[in-house]
Amino acid sequence: MRVWTALFLLLVPGLVVSASGEEVMKALARAYPGRIEAVEHRRGDWALSMDGEWFYWAQGRILPESRRERWHEYVPIRFYRYVPGPFTPPEITPDVEERLRQRMARFDNDGEVRFNAFLDRLYGIASQHEAERIMVNLTFLDRPVRLHPLLEGPLGRVDQRLRLAMLTDGETRAFVRDLAQVHGYNWRPIAGTPRRSYHSYGVALDLIPRSFRGRHAYWRWAVNSGIEEWWNLAPYQRWTVPWAVVEAFEAEGFVWGGKWLYFDSIHFEYRPEVLLMAR
């Protein structure tokens, strides 16, 4: 089994990374047929074409021709083996725990840079000004949220699935009733990194309840509350989302941040290519 790097495993912890460049590029083409024009093996690497420009796999960085030989300067874009279905907490081995401790030493800024040209082109956003112009006002479960227009259809279908689930599932009904806000577009970096958040592209949303009832929804919030070894939190100490809610999102191409070792349980990202690779 091929593993890109130990660091990359920690960026998407608890999930096995084994996708090849061919698999990722073809999944992207299936996920975004209106944006990606072609996929082929060229000049010794897998590549895809958007707007007439070729982007190369480049060890997972997805770089234009002018940057492909400088792949070592950047971290990979997060493509990984997501596991749909009920969540099983990842095993924390001594080796993983040691790497987590090393990462905590760089809590405020991990210093890892991602080259954004591919994502900028995919979403049509390379600046905050462009993002502000592109975002649309949507309603999800009767709560307002600003997102990329790409999400209008998928999120609308999630809404429909959850409304049906609420008719028969009391846990889902209680979760939706307790939902205070839905946060979407927000131009900012990922906390503790120099990398642009998927919220900046308007393809991620956070479900904010009225109360977390003393439980931890996000690993950084746990650290800020004084829990240094947050990875050892017991399941009952973590705020989570009902399985029916996660299932509805996964069915429409969203991954849930509650499945990451660096857990972010309020967070969903529209990553249909990741779900395609999981099937």
Q: What is the pLDDT of residues 220-253, one digit of tens each?
A: 999 999 999 999 999 999 999 999 999 999 999 9
Axis-axis angle for helices 243-251, 152-168 (nearest 10): 150
Instruction: Report pLDDT for 2.
Output: 29
- Read off the amino acid at residue 201: Y
Instruction: Report pLDDT for 79.
Output: 84
Cα end-to-end span (Å), the chain: 18
- Are the C-beta atoms of 250 and 277 separated by less than 8 Å? no
Give the residues of the chain that fall short of pLDDT 70: 1-18, 109, 111
Instruction: Report pLDDT for 19.
Output: 74
Which neighbouring-strand residues pair with 46? Answer: 41
Phi first, then psi: give them for residue 27, nearest 5 degrees.
Answer: -65, -40
Alpha-carbon distance of 39 to 47, in angstroms, equals: 6
Instruction: Report pLDDT for 58.
Output: 94
Please state, as a whole number, how many other Cβ atoms lie within 10 Å of the Cβ of residue 156: 14
- Are the C-beta atoms of 184 and 147 separated by less than 8 Å? yes
Output the six-digit token pair for 7: 């660091």
Whole-Å CA distances, 179 to 128, 142, 145, 183: 28, 10, 13, 11
Instruction: Report pLDDT for 5.
Output: 32
Instruction: Report pLDDT for 18.
Output: 53
